[in-house]
A and B are shown apart, each in its own frame.
Chain A
């Protein structure tokens, strides 16, 4: 346990090494919120609703996605491809710990860093813009939402390991990573709630793991969806796929560059 705490602490120290980098990253997170905020304010600020969303509902969704992005999608595992390509993976592989736990602990440190700053930034945004938001008080929904977020964290972790593992086979990992990022921006519901799309599209989206990262946990928080089963299935399925790909990839690893 002590060694994992050390990994956690070292990862946090790494984040704080380049302070300007860290500040810029945090400022970016505020912009992620501001652009959609202004769009929705222009559309719904005067009252009314579209697709059943009032201004308060869409602001709750927007606040929710901003927090969940930090919590679910904050990750250090995105470095995995680079580690494989440069041979840097050799060092953690030789150390006496479980490699998945190593990556997961690093992710947790990144999430803690993001979340701690989020608790400073969001009240700031709130006091400047006064967006109407809905706070869930039903303990059952809150419990379900927390379980859903936990599943989302695992799903995102496995997706990252799978995409990072592509580096075992190809050096060109930036393009698949860019494509994944672009798809996730849309399919997670980060751009707008997926139930604004035609029903057929929603059904197709829900067959992929992406909506379970942001959209579904938020719907659960809002008490509009309490089915956690698809998320559990995705966690188990992606966990198995990750292990298979990792084993196959590791057998090809040549520690090139070391």
Chain B
């Protein structure tokens, strides 16, 4: 039964994504190219900044330049995977304001599914490949072997990180329902997330602890990098699995509470 439900969700998601892709190809080809160029430019400038600083400083909180580059590459890869699926959050406020959210509530599938996953950006998919290539290049360049166990650990971390990121997105959507505010909250979330693009040790002991346990963005780059460098015990990942489950349950609870306060005032 559960498999059947999962298949239904997958079918609807594929249909929505395909429609999104068709719409972009038909209406916004140039815009999509500019968007991809912008993202690559931003990535390039982030690497340039790292190069400019580490070209002179050599070491940053104990990491060499190739190691810091790997952390930045991992961050962009993992963060982009999550963003790719959850673009719907950027349009959510408008949907609450104009009443479209009422239709989500009437659908037989979960309103949360529509709110979060209905606007997967297919153009973002194209960026996964350069980002992945960058991770592989940076990994090899860092001098650490590209072995099966390390790859497996990184993949496990990506899955845990995805669940945690999804939980935070659900909380932000809940804030959107309650206070009609999403845009700056999601951007604030992105700012927080961006802190993980560099080794989190840079933020001191308190900052590192916050970014590891409270807002576990360390999972996006520093922890997988430490796993690759052999500086992290993989068994600790079990603790993050528990944390991810806890966050997901908490976010779903907050979502259900927020729905109770939805007044459908716009429709």
**Which residue of A20, A172, A179, A186 is within 8 Å of B179 (Cβ)?**
A20
Contact A175 B30, CB 8 Å, known A28-B184, A185-B45: yes
Bound-state CA distance A21–B175 (Å) is: 11
Q: Chain B interface: which size bin?
A: 35 or more
Nearest CB to that of B201 among chain A residues? Answer: A42
Q: Is B53 close to A, CB under 8 A?
A: yes
Q: Hey, which chain A residues are within 8 Å of B203, CB to CB? A: 38
Q: Is B187 close to A, CB under 8 A?
A: yes
Q: Hey, which chain A residues are within 8 Å of B184, CB to CB? A: 21, 24-25, 28
Bound-state CA distance A49–B37 (Å) is: 34
Question: A178, B187: Cβ atoms under 8 Å?
Answer: no
A-facing residues in B163-222 (Cβ within 8 Å): 175, 179-181, 183-185, 187-188, 191-192, 194-195, 198, 202-204, 207
Q: Is A18 close to B, CB under 8 A?
A: yes
Nearest CB to that of A174 among chain B residues? Answer: B31
Report whether over half of chain B's contact residues are helix, strand or loop; otherwise say mixed. Answer: helix
Question: B38, A182: Cβ atoms under 8 Å?
Answer: yes
Q: Mark B28-54, 1 if CB is under 8 A from A, else 0.
A: 101111110111011001001100110
Contact A21 B181, CB 8 Å, known A28-B188, A191-B45: yes
Q: Is B5 close to A, CB under 8 A?
A: no
Question: B38, A42: Cβ atoms under 8 Å?
Answer: no
**Interface core residue of A178, A182, A196 (most chain B CB under 10 Å):** A182
Contact A24 B34, CB 8 Å, known A18-B180, A35-B194, A43-B60: no
Q: Hey, which chain B residues are within 8 Å of A170, CB to CB? A: 30-31
Contact A175 B181, CB 8 Å, known A50-B56, A192-B52: no
Bound-state CA distance A174–B87 (Å) is: 14
Q: Is B140 close to A, CB under 8 A?
A: no
Bound-state CA distance A191–B184 (Å) is: 21
Question: B192, A172: Cβ atoms under 8 Å?
Answer: no
Q: How far is the CB of B3 from chain A (nearest CB, A)?
A: 38
Contact A27 B198, CB 8 Å, known A43-B57, A186-B45, A191-B49: no
Q: How far is the CB of A111 from chain B (nearest CB, A)?
A: 18
Nearest CB to that of B54 among chain A residues? Answer: A43
- Total A-B pairs, Cβ < 8 A: 98
Question: B53, A172: Cβ atoms under 8 Å?
Answer: no
**Which residue of A21, A34, A183 is within 8 Å of B41 (Cβ)?**
A183
Q: Hey, which chain A residues are within 8 Å of B198, CB to CB? A: 39
Bound-state CA distance A27–B35 (Å) is: 26
Q: Is A119 close to B, CB under 8 A?
A: no
Bound-state CA distance A51–B32 (Å) is: 38
Question: B34, A179: Cβ atoms under 8 Å?
Answer: yes
Bound-state CA distance A26–B33 (Å) is: 32
Q: How far is the CB of B139 from chain A (nearest CB, A)?
A: 23
Question: B207, A175: Cβ atoms under 8 Å?
Answer: no
How many chain A residues touch B (CB < 8 A): the figure is 35
Q: Is A32 close to B, CB under 8 A?
A: yes
Q: Is A31 close to B, CB under 8 A?
A: yes
Q: Hey, which chain B residues are within 8 Å of A191, CB to CB? A: 45, 49
Nearest CB to that of B207 among chain A residues? Answer: A38
Bound-state CA distance A28–B54 (Å) is: 26
**Which residue of A25, A175, A196, A197 is within 8 Å of B38 (Cβ)?**
A175
Q: Is B27 close to A, CB under 8 A?
A: yes
Q: Mark A137-180, 1 if CB is under 8 A from B, else 0.
A: 00000000000000000000000000000000011101110110
Question: A192, B57: Cβ atoms under 8 Å?
Answer: no
Q: Is B246 close to A, CB under 8 A?
A: no
Question: B185, A24: Cβ atoms under 8 Å?
Answer: yes
Q: How far is the CB of A196 from chain B (nearest CB, A)?
A: 5
Q: How far is the CB of A78 from chain B (nearest CB, A)?
A: 12
Q: Hey, which chain B residues are within 8 Å of A20, CB to CB? A: 175, 179, 181, 185
Q: Hey, which chain B residues are within 8 Å of A51, CB to CB? A: 52, 56
Q: Hey, which chain B residues are within 8 Å of A181, CB to CB? A: 38
Nearest CB to that of A183 among chain B residues? Answer: B41
Q: How far is the CB of A215 from chain B (nearest CB, A)?
A: 14
**Which residue of B35, B180, B202 is within 8 Å of A39 (Cβ)?**
B202
Could you list 22 examples of A-B contacts with CB < 8 Å?
A18-B179, A20-B179, A21-B184, A24-B185, A24-B187, A24-B188, A27-B188, A31-B192, A32-B191, A39-B53, A42-B60, A51-B56, A170-B30, A172-B27, A174-B35, A175-B38, A179-B35, A182-B38, A182-B39, A182-B42, A186-B48, A197-B52
Beyond A24-B184, A179-B38, 9 extra complex contacts between A and B, CB < 8 Å: A31-B188, A39-B53, A43-B53, A50-B57, A170-B30, A174-B35, A175-B32, A178-B38, A192-B52
- State the 9 A-B residue pairs at the shortest beta-carbon distance, nearest first: A24-B184, A175-B31, A172-B31, A175-B34, A50-B56, A31-B191, A179-B38, A186-B45, A20-B181
